């Protein structure tokens, strides 16, 4: 698996530092509150667990499963809800956690879906933000790294559902796509 990587963009240490920085910021911003942290499956799993352990807060956790890429390297444009959250978010301080914000479609969809349920506040935290990918308006409140317009894998991000368990974020070798 590691042989398929052309270069590492963010190492384990880089990611750890970003989690510490964002966790400290959230700890400060949500002091005295009990935020509900909602992870967007599946890409978020590693960031979600690392970020939460850097938050010194009474936070509870839920997940929502939506899909937009359907295995390819470009967003299909179609967002589908695979599994909804399991709690009522009315009057809650909601923090959506994502691995990457790209076209913005996933977050635009989630914002529309969840803000209608009247949370007290609604913020978005993403490890990676790819501003050049945007096709609809979407903005994160907390960002780990602004990333270049390249297809990335690792630390939750997949290519055809694989490479999620790389401990770093990297760029695949072009021949990996060519061989598919
Ligand atoms: C990826 C990624 C984000 C979303 C970002 O998820 O994890 O959730 O796409 O792209 P967008 O801004 O263009 O909507 P994907 O739909 O591939 O599902 P996955 O997390 O299960 O891989
Ligand atoms: Mn995702
Ligand atoms: Mg994906």
What digits encode the pLDDT tens for the residues 33-51?
999 999 999 999 999 999 9
**Residue 137 · residue 109 · CB < 8 Å:** no
Place of tokens 């963010």: 10
Place of tokens 């301080």: 93
Mean pLDDT in residue range 155-164: 96
Tell me whether residue 162 is in a domain: no
Query: Does ligand 1 have an atom closer than 6 angstroms to the CB of 126?
Result: no
Specify the number of domains making up the chain: 1
Q: Please state, in angstroms and rounded to a whole number, the distance separating the CA atoms of residues 32 and 29.
A: 9
Tell me whether residue 6 is in a domain: no
pLDDT at 73: 60
Residue % of the chain over a pLDDT of 90? 91
Mean pLDDT in residue range 102-125: 97
pLDDT at 178: 81
Place of tokens 């879906």: 113
Query: Does ligand 1 have an atom closer than 6 angstroms to the CB of 129?
Result: no
CA distances from 75 to 69, 80, 104, 158, 172 (A): 4, 12, 10, 12, 17
Tell me whether residue 122 is in a domain: yes
6 has a pLDDT exceeding 60 = yes
Tell me whether residue 164 is in a domain: no
Tell me whether residue 167 is in a domain: no
Q: Which residue segment(s) compose the domain that 112 sits in?
A: 12-150
121 has a pLDDT exceeding 70 = yes
Label residue 135 left, alpha or beta by phi (over 0 means left) and psi (-120 to 50 means alpha): alpha
Counting from 1 in the atom list of ligand 1, the atom nearest the Cα of 102 is 12
**Residue 57 · residue 33 · CB < 8 Å:** yes
| Catalytic-residue membership of 146 | no
Tell me whether residue 169 is in a domain: no
Tell me whether residue 1 is in a domain: no
Is ipTM over 0.85?
yes
Helix (H, G, I), strand (E, B) or coil at 8: strand
What CATH number should be reported for the domain holding residue 53? 3.40.50.2020
Tell me whether residue 176 is in a domain: no
20 has a pLDDT exceeding 80 = yes
């Amino acid at each position: 698996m590691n042989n398929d990587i052309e270069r590492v963009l963010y190492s384990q240490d880089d990611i750890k530092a970003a989690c510490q920085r964002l966790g400290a910021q959230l700890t400060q911003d949500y002091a005295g509150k009990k935020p509900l942290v909602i992870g967007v499956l599946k890409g978020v799993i590693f960031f979600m667990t690392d970020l939460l352990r850097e938050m010194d807060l009474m936070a509870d956790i839920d997940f929502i499963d939506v899909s937009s890429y359907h295995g390819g390297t470009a967003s299909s444009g179609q967002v589908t809800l695979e599994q909804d959250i399991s709690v009522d978010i009315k009057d809650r301080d909601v923090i959506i956690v994502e691995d990457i914000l790209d076209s913005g479609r996933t977050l635009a969809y989630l914002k529309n879906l969840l803000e209608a349920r009247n949370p007290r506040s609604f913020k978005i935290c993403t490890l990676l933000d790819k501003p050049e990918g945007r096709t609809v308006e979407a903005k994160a409140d907390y960002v780990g790294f602004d990333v270049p317009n390249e297809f990335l894998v690792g630390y939750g991000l997949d290519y055809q559902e694989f490479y999620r368990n790389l401990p770093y974020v990297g760029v695949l070798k072009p021949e990996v796509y060519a061989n598919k």
